[in-house]
Every structure is written in C-alpha cells, then in structure tokens.
Structure 1
Amino acid sequence: MDPTHIAPTALPSILHTLRTAWQAHRPSLEQRRNDLQRLRAALKSRLPEMAEAIAADFGHRSTHESLIADGMTVLNEIDHLLGHLRGWMRPRRVGVGWRFWPAHAQTRPVPLGVVGVISPWNYPVNLALIPLATAIAAGNHVILKPSEHTPRTSAFLQDLLASVFPADRVAVVQGDGELAAALSGSPLDHLVFTGSTAVGRKVMAAAARHLTPLTLELGGKSPAIVCSDYPLDKAAARLATGKWFNAGQTCIAPDYVLIDGRRQRELVQQLQTRVRERYGDFSDASDYTRIIHEGQYQRLLGYLAQARERGVPVIELATVDPERARRERLIVPTIVLDPPADLDLMQEEIFGPILPVCAYPDLAAAVADVQARDRPLALYVFSDHREAVEQVLGQVVAGGVTVNDTLLHFAINGLPFGGVGPSGMGAYHGRAGFDAMSKQLPILWQARWAASDLLKPPYSKIAGLLRALVR
C-alpha cells in the first residue's frame, strides 16, 4: 500500500473530528472570508509548483494550460465567492400572503456540516479546489479525496491545504477506488463527485445508504453543431481550442462535430491548418499535453484501431515517430470521418484528442442525432443566425451551452455548471454552488397577535372568518 494512502477504516474517525469541530464552532462570515483569502494567497504563491506537479503526473502537460485551467479558474472563483459572500449569506424575505398577516417569513442559508469532494485527474486542482472553496464559503468543513492517478498533484494539494486549514476543518485523504467507494458510502452532509457516468452510478448507489445529497459532475458525448452559415475558419479555430486543450481530456470538450455535408472536408482542412499553426510539426510539442496514463492511452488507440479495421477514414493531423509516441503517450490531433454509430468511439465518451466529424443533410437531422443520445454535459452551436440557434436550443436539453465557441460557459462564475440525467445531477459554481452546499432554512416569524389564534373549535363561532379564508 502506498504510504501516503489511508485505509477506508480511518474515515469514520476523520469524519468525527471534522463534524465535532463544526458543531462546536460553525464558521462565521469573518472566518469564511479569512479562509478563502488564505487559500487564494497560498495557491497564488505556489502556482509554478502546482504546474510542475501536474506536468509530472501527465508525463508532460503544457504549463500554460495548467496555469489557465487549474490556476486562473480557481483564483477567479475564489474572487467571485469573496465578492458576493456577504450578500449570499443574508436571509431572504418571503411573502406570507394576506391570510397569514401579520406574520413574516424568510429563508436563511445555513451550513450543512461536512461536505465530501471526490475529484478527478484531468483538472486535478481546479476540480478539487473550486468545490472545496465553495463548501468553505457556505460554512462547511470538507473532506477531499483527490485522484490516485495524479499522485504528485494530490501530494501538492495535501500540503497546500494543510498550510491553510486546521486538520479539523479540511482533511485530505489519499487512496484508490476502495477509499472513494468508502467515502461515497459515509454519512456526509453533501457529496460532490466529478468523474465518469459509470462511476457516478456507483457513487449514487453508495450515497443512498445515508440519503446523502449529491452533486454529480459526469460526462458523455458533448456535440458541436456547425450550421451552414457559420465561417469555417472561425469554427475550426474554436473547435481546435475546445478539443485539443489538455489533449481532449476535458469533460466538456466537443466529443463529435456535426456539419453540413458539402463543407465537411473543408472543415477538416481548416482544423489541420489550426493544428499546424498551434503545434508546428510536433518536434517540440511543449504546448501539447500527453495522455495521463497507459490505460487511457491504450483505450484511445483501441478506438482508432477499431475504426481502421472497419474501413473508416482516420486522419492524423500531424506525424510523429511511433516509438516516441509510445514512449511519451502522445496522440496527435486526429479526425475520424463519419464513423458508424456502433463504433466504440461513438458509443463512449472519447476523452482524448480524437474528433469524429460527421456530415448531416440538414439542421433537423443534426438535432435528431443529438436527441437520440443521452443528454450531454455540454452543447456547442455555431451560427450567426439567431433562428438556427434557437431551433437547436428549443429541442435539445444539455447541461450547459456555449454559442459560437467552446468550453467558456464553464468559466463564467454566474452560470451554474452541471449536467442533466446521465451527464450529471445538480450544479455548482458561484451562487448555485453556495446554495447547493447550504440548507435554505425556511423560518416563519409569528406576531404577538395572530389570526391563527382564532382557528379553533367550536368552528361555528368563526364561520365568517372561514368563508373569507377559503373564498
């Protein structure tokens, strides 16, 4: 057993410590703000160390991608929490209606207690610290289980958080899937899980034992629809960013593209141009991230082998030495043209730099293709015609949408981030996350004199009042 890992049997003691401390001293506004400020300062000062740890876990990951996706996003979210926290904590007045005058009512956001966070490997700091910071903002204590597939980053997170929080406020536990399963089945007050749909089902089943409320951030096949009016050079540039950032290892990356048939080949050419502009001939490829581990690498190669065996066109947009590719777990941006629906890469979330480009006869057919699948985590529509965009939005239910770009809805603090159905449950980011990790406590304040004092037998004495109440 890895010496940094703990046994699942240690969880009850850790949870007891966190819960006992929370019950003894529920965090005030001042403490929450101070915690967030110290977390921000600590992360900001150690961004180079963070990027090095992530790169070591991936074999190679673009430093700039780590700074953007795992640094900037977290700092931005903490800033948003700090800027709005006082207002979010205020009770909200709720009207009671004339029948209950002169009582008044409010909802008051109160902390839940201990929130669990199980984070994945693809954005190992972002997807750990954003839900953690949100839980802290909402006044909770946190137990974080980072991914075992990024051990150096997990060690970085453990050291970072130990420097900011006392052990009875935030605990980091390292371990494998057995520990994650045990945490899922623990008596938490809320659990945030980010990962695959298949594992999400297991997490939900385990959490059901204690009826633990869940935020499930899962995945699926997020489509991009390029309408016939949209400029292909611009579509290619934005698709290239969304698909090949982090080598496609992004839960909201465009998983496949639907485009009108007459422009399909031209889009492929435009994508190849963008790859050359961004990564050159891949002799260096310092800005291009590698596949996280051998299992994921072989899974992706299997998708391509299956497509080739079936005679499906596979177009690699760059060429690298095969031995180097194996050594570095490097898969160059690759297009698969019109793959049949029964191929594995059209049945499963790709989560890599492989992009199916599928021709459609008209927009209605593209929408029908999306509707025939599970509801996606993300949807991308490219059109300068509002009517075409609304045609898609009016028929497809997705976790989130970016129009005429990719990925960016994730980064908008005011937009809830979450899936629907197989792509997830619940949402976080900004106010949505604060509310999800709080109990909106409903409170009715009764007045010294109240009409309800009259609502008692014998009812014959208040017949007129009753007629007025039910009119």
Structure 2
Amino acid sequence: MENILRSIDPLTGEAIGSLPVSKPQDIQDMVEKAHKAQRVWSSKSLQERVQLLQQAYTKLNAEEGELAQLISREMGKDARRAQYEAGGVVQGGAWLAGDAGEALRTKRSGGSEIQYRPLGVVAVISPWNYPLAMANNLIVPALVAGNAVILKPSEESPLVADLLVKTLNQILPQDILQIAHGDGATGEALVKSPINMVAFTGSRTTGQKIMANAAPALKRLVMELGGNDPMIVLQSANIPQAAQFAVGSSFENSGQMCTSTERIYVDEKIADKFENAVVALAKQYRVGGWQEPQVDIGPLVNHRQHQKVVEHIHDALNKGAKLLLGERDPQLPFIPPTVISGIRPGMLVEDDETFGPIVAIDRFSSVDDVVERANNSVYGLGAVVFGESKQAEQVASQLQAGMIGINQGAGGSPWVGAKQSGFGFHGGAEGHRQFAQITVLNR
C-alpha cells in the first residue's frame, strides 16, 4: 500500500481527503506510548475515567454535522441515516460511558470481592458500514475499563474516524486513544504487536486471520463476524407486518448491515400474498445520492461490493431463481431495490452474506424442514420469525442464532453472535466486562 490513504466518495469516485498510512514502525511507537499512557490512565479511579470521557463527548457536539456528512461522503449513507448515526454517538457517548462505569464497579459476592481490572492495550478494528457507531461501541467500554485504545478504522472510512479521535483527544490524556490508518496490512501489524486484546467487527475471513495472529500470545478477542440472517414467515403471520419488516431489514443501509435479512422462507400457503406485498413496498424505495431528499438506498461503498452483489444476482437467476423486481445488470454505483424468489441452497444469495439491497425469498411446506434450512449456515448472528406468538416462539427456540426476534427485528444488549458470527460479545453490562480482567479478591 502506498504511503497515503485516500478516502473515495462512492457516489462520484473522487477522493475527498487523504491521510498518512501507519507504517510498522509507527505501530510499534503507538503501542509503546499506549502502554506508558495506560499505566497512568488505570491509576485514575473508575469515576474519574467516566467523567473525563463524558467531558470529551461534549466536544463532539460542535462536530456532529461534519461527522454526519463524512459518513455519507465516505460510504454513501443517505443524509438522514448518517445524521441519525452521528447523533446517536454524539448524544449517547456520555450515557455509554456511565453505563460501562456502572457495569465495571467492584462488587461483593459472598466473602469475595469481584474486581474488573484493565487488560492493558486494546486494538479496536472497526468496519465501514457504521463507521462511527461501531467504533464508538468498542472504544468507550475499553477506555472506561482502564485500557489504552488504538483504533484501526476501515480504509473505506478513515476521515470520520480521524475526526472522532482528534476531537475526543482534546480532553483525554495524551496517547490513551490513538489511531492507525491503513488496510489489512496495518491491521495485521497491530494485531501482531504486543497489545493485550483485539476488538473487531468485520468479515469472518478477516476474523480467522486475526485469531491466528493473536494465538501465539493468547490475546483476548471480541469479534463480530457478520451474518446470513434467516427470516421465517409462518402461515399465521400478519402478512403486511412481515412484508414491511422483510423489505425494511433487507434494504436498510443499502443492505450493508450485519443483521440484514439475507434469506426469507415463507409458508407456501401465503407466499403469493407475501411476495406481492413485498414487491409493492419495495417499489416505494428511492435510490439516489446521499444529499438528495427522501433517499432510501444510496450507492454501495465501492466497486468491489457492487460487483459482489451483481454476481449474487447473476448466480441466482442463472440457477433458476426469478427476478420479481430490479435489474439483472445494475450499473455503478447503485443496486436498485431487488426482489428475487425461488432461492435454493447452492446459490450465493442463500449460502453467503450478500450485503446489498436484495429481498431473497423461497417457499416452504414443512416447518421442521425450514428450521433445518435456516440453521444450515456457518453464521448465526440474528434470525427472526413472524407468526402467531406461541407457534413463533416454538420455532424460535430451535434457531441457532445469538439474537432472535419474534415479530420484530433481532438485536439488543449484549450484541452477540452464535457459531462463526461471533467470538465473545459486546454491549450491556456483560459485554462491557469483556474489556476487563475479572479478579476475585478474598480478604
């Protein structure tokens, strides 16, 4: 990789800014500084750390608009959704620090004292699809726990991460939060360096590499590794409600969301009505640039992701699926609202994570068979079931996923994946404690 990292606007293909790439020696220097800063940071009380973070987040207020625009310009998110993400981080950061502080307080258990001590230096490697929120959700609990953090943001969205770190560092002690820029080589150098923990959100393939590189030193890991979320629509489902969720979940963030609904299985007795409802709703979604009003689907993040989604469409249609809405050969940089029916095992849209605005549907006649099919994946992040409550709960009890929704989306705190969708977890009191060494003190 060259010495300069350029951030590219996916709508125009033009560079909107650049940053120097962190070289191996830079990484080494950052880690040394982080260890020194961490010893001072961890000597502060838990409450002092929380208060300093909360003060730091007040500095973000003035940058909220710029952060939102950078999200849009770097990864294509429409202005409305980018503002929501930026606002959530800016307005919610102080709350998150307090929530983590409460979870990490020393507690009594019988005759023992349970302490949550720092691990040392934590590498946070964050993705491009929610470039501000995903980084923030890992940085804050790591810092509250008394660790130093080195953030390696996605090379697709470096500018927004850089602004976040620079703004927080107006208040935080020197070197307690640093940022390293670059591609996978930079991330690999950081993982192999003498740090103590890696918190990662991204692909399963990269997660496997991180695990291998962290193994020699048995570094702590928290990794969210994507999903291929199934949705089961039972005969008893409220069809308008189920169709609304199916379209919204498949198209949110242009389909570039880890808990997007990737494959939908609908009871054959209601399939025609369901598919008609889905197509009617999907036609209402507007495609366009981030700055256009009322846009629902923006450009995909880059040419590679666009090509991957087109490949999935071609593969499905060539293997017998039907295109109910959309284009066989959508042109850069957009994928228009797409609805495909008749998906099958062996198709990329069924077996892999597509990460694009596609509603992919098939029909089933046996509930037992469809549960087996829904579970037939290495992934297990989220799953949803729509139908009468008792029957839906029975089906949900058999699904292999870390987060399951009944007549609603999957998610919550902690944010946790099953199978190869996760290793460790984050969010909520239990997730915050993943960033600490639990110590049992008897005295």
Q: Specify if TM > 0.5.
A: yes
Bigger share in helix: 1
Residue identity opposite 1:353 in structure 2: P
**Kept in 1: contact 2:287–2:295 (CA 8 A):** no
Residue identity opposite 2:310 in structure 1: L
* Pair 281,149 (structure 1): closer, same or farther in 2 beyond 3 Å: closer
Matched with 2:9 is none
Choose 1 or 2 for highest CA Rg: 1
Q: Secondary structure at the match of 2:437?
A: strand
Distance 2:395 2:97 in 1: 33
Matched, 1:389 2:387: no
Matched with 1:99 is none
Normalised by the size of structure 1, how large is the TM-score?
A: 0.84
Distance 2:383 2:89 in 1: 21
Distance 2:416 2:25 in 1: 31
Distance 1:74 1:359 in 2: 43
Matched, 1:398 2:397: no
Residue 353 (structure 1) aligned to one of 347, 350, 357? 357
Counting aligned pairs with the same residue, the percent is 26
Distance 2:428 2:61 in 1: 20
Q: CA deviation at 1:326?
A: 2.8
Cα displacement string for residues 221-267 of structure 1 (whole angstroms, at most 9, x for unaligned residues): 11111111111111111222211110110011111111101222322
Matched with 2:264 is 257
Residue identity opposite 1:122 in structure 2: N
Q: Which moved more, 1:283-292 or 1:354-363?
A: 283-292
Matched with 2:337 is 333
Residue 161 (structure 2) aligned to one of 154, 158, 167? 154
Count of aligned pairs between the two proteins: 424
Matched with 2:78 is 62
Residue identity opposite 1:6 in structure 2: S
Q: Which runs of 5+ in 1 are unaligned?
A: 96-103, 446-471
Matched with 2:373 is 369
Distance 1:303 1:25 in 2: 48
**Kept in 2: contact 1:109–1:435 (CA 8 A):** yes
Q: CA deviation at 1:284?
A: 6.7
Distance 2:105 2:90 in 1: 24
Cα displacement string for residues 69-120 of structure 1 (whole angstroms, at most 9, x for unaligned residues): 44326643641441562x434322222xxxxxxxx32211112121110001
Matched, 1:9 2:25: yes
Residue identity opposite 1:141 in structure 2: A
Distance 2:88 2:175 in 1: 28
Q: CA deviation at 1:383?
A: 2.0
Bigger share in strand: 2
**Kept in 2: contact 1:65–1:245 (CA 8 A):** no
Matched, 1:24 2:24: no
Normalised by the size of structure 2, how large is the TM-score?
A: 0.89
Q: Secondary structure at the match of 1:163?
A: coil
Q: CA deviation at 1:444?
A: 1.1
**Kept in 2: contact 1:56–1:152 (CA 8 A):** no
Distance 2:133 2:41 in 1: 28
* Pair 377,77 (structure 1): closer, same or farther in 2 beyond 3 Å: farther
Residue 196 (structure 1) aligned to one of 197, 203, 218? 203
Residue identity opposite 2:108 in structure 1: R
Matched with 1:433 is 431
Distance 2:62 2:242 in 1: 37
Distance 2:352 2:247 in 1: 20
Distance 1:73 1:266 in 2: 40
Q: Secondary structure at the match of 1:175?
A: coil
* Pair 375,55 (structure 1): closer, same or farther in 2 beyond 3 Å: closer
Across the aligned residues of Structure 1 and Structure 2, the Cα RMSD in angstroms comes to: 2.3
Q: Which runs of 5+ in 2 are unaligned?
A: 5-18
